[in-house]
Amino acid sequence: MERVLSRLIDPVFRPTVRALHGWALAAMISNAVVIATGAAVRLSSSGLGCPDWPACTKSSAVAADSSGQTLLNSWIEFGNRLLNFPLVAIAGFAFIAFFMWHRQQKAAGAAGRIDLVRLSAVLPIGVIAQAVIGGIVVLEKLNPALVSVHFLLSTAIILTCAVVLHARTVALEKGSHPAAADEPKRAGAIPGVRIDLRVLAGLLTAVTGLMLAAGTIVTGTGPLAGTETDSHGHLKTVPRFHFSLESVTQLHADIGWFIGALAVALVVGLRYSGAPRRTVRLGWVVLVGLGLQGIIGYVQYFNHLPAGLVWVHVALSVLIWIYVLQLYLSTTVGLGLGPAAAEPVAASSSEAVPAP
């Protein structure tokens, strides 16, 4: 019993580097899943399946029948709310684990990694803020501007921190920068990427973030915003952006073509500049993902935006964001390591893990 209890407690209160890697990965995956399920809520017109917050309705804390909504709509929305509990737990445990590991390193005479503690602190704070904004979105009857903020907070802040945290723990676990983990050392230096290609990778990341923002405008303008019941008991659509759907979709597509051109240029440059193999592989993953995303985008548009295909488009955009961030991080020497990378890791608080 004591051994079982220890195996449950140690990853949080006496974490190894491998445990930190696991918590960072869990935070990244769980946030991506919640974003995808949140899109399913929106696209199934279930955003007002629970018209109140934090309870589902004024008379029920859990999913229940509400005017103008089916019970299925209520359970889809309520189910998404329930996912916040494991998300908060993962974020909270991750923060505790990184904080305890930092203290262990300081106690062992090492410099510690306050940068990892700060990044991990963003996770629980961001998730709680996200839940509050989600409640405001419901109370404001799915105001499209608030829905956009709700989505972008998840992708641009919480998920981004989770990806950076994961990249840094991978580097810590391997003892070298993630982009260089599978490359030989040259004259004692970490092999990196040419400065022009790093700038190109940074531009690709920035424009991809702009693409995500443009996508929320398209969704808030389109026909899949959901419904509510007016004072006479009649169904009506929720507020939308007052833009031309054709115009915002064209803008979204134009940004997509620009991103595609950037990705092609970056992959070609990486391939023929002697960049680390991992960076080149990530470039190809991003390029293929963007091509698939473009195909799905055009198919959904010419088929009048079927909800299922739109959901695939949104979910794939989250994956692309993760890989674009990983690609950028892999091109920036030292970003994955942090200021104390050269410090020895105490044997009592971490373990050496061989590079795969």
Look at residue 176 and tell me whether its pLDDT is greater than 80. no
Mean pLDDT in residue range 117-130: 92
Best mean pLDDT range from 217-221, 242-246, 323-327: 323-327
Contacts of the segment 208-211: beta carbons below 8 A, 24+ positions apart: 208/259, 208/320, 208/321, 208/324, 209/156, 209/321, 210/255, 211/252, 211/255, 211/256, 211/259, 211/317
pLDDT of residue 187: 36
DSSP state of 50: S
Find residue 60's DSSP bridge partners.
Answer: 57
- Number of Cβ within 10 Å of residue 199's Cβ equals 11
The residue among 171 and 36 whose pLDDT is bigger is 36
Tokens matching residue 119: 């990044």
DSSP state of 345: P
Tokens matching residue 285: 């993953």
d(CA 245, CA 39): 19
pLDDT of residue 92: 94
pTM to 2 decimal places: 0.82
- Looking at 227-241, 250-264, 302-316, which range is the least confident one? 227-241
Give tens-digit pLDDT for 27-37. Answer: 999 999 999 98
Q: Where are the domains of the chain?
A: 2-178+189-331
d(CA 307, CA 43): 6
Give tens-digit pLDDT for 38-86. Answer: 888 888 877 777 888 888 887 787 777 766 677 888 888 888 888 889 9
pLDDT band for 289, please (50, 70, 90 cuts).
Answer: very high
Give tens-digit pLDDT for 180-190. Answer: 444 444 333 44
Element (H, E) at 236: strand 235-237
Rg (CA), the chain: 22
The residue among 314 and 6 whose pLDDT is bigger is 314
The residue among 222 and 160 whose pLDDT is bigger is 160
pLDDT band for 299, please (50, 70, 90 cuts).
Answer: very high
Residue owning tokens 């199934």: 44
Look at residue 354 and tell me whether its pLDDT is greater than 70. no
* 96-113 per-residue burial string, b: 16 or more CB within 10 A, e: under 16: bbbbbbbebbeebebebb
Q: What is the mean pLDDT of the chain?
A: 81
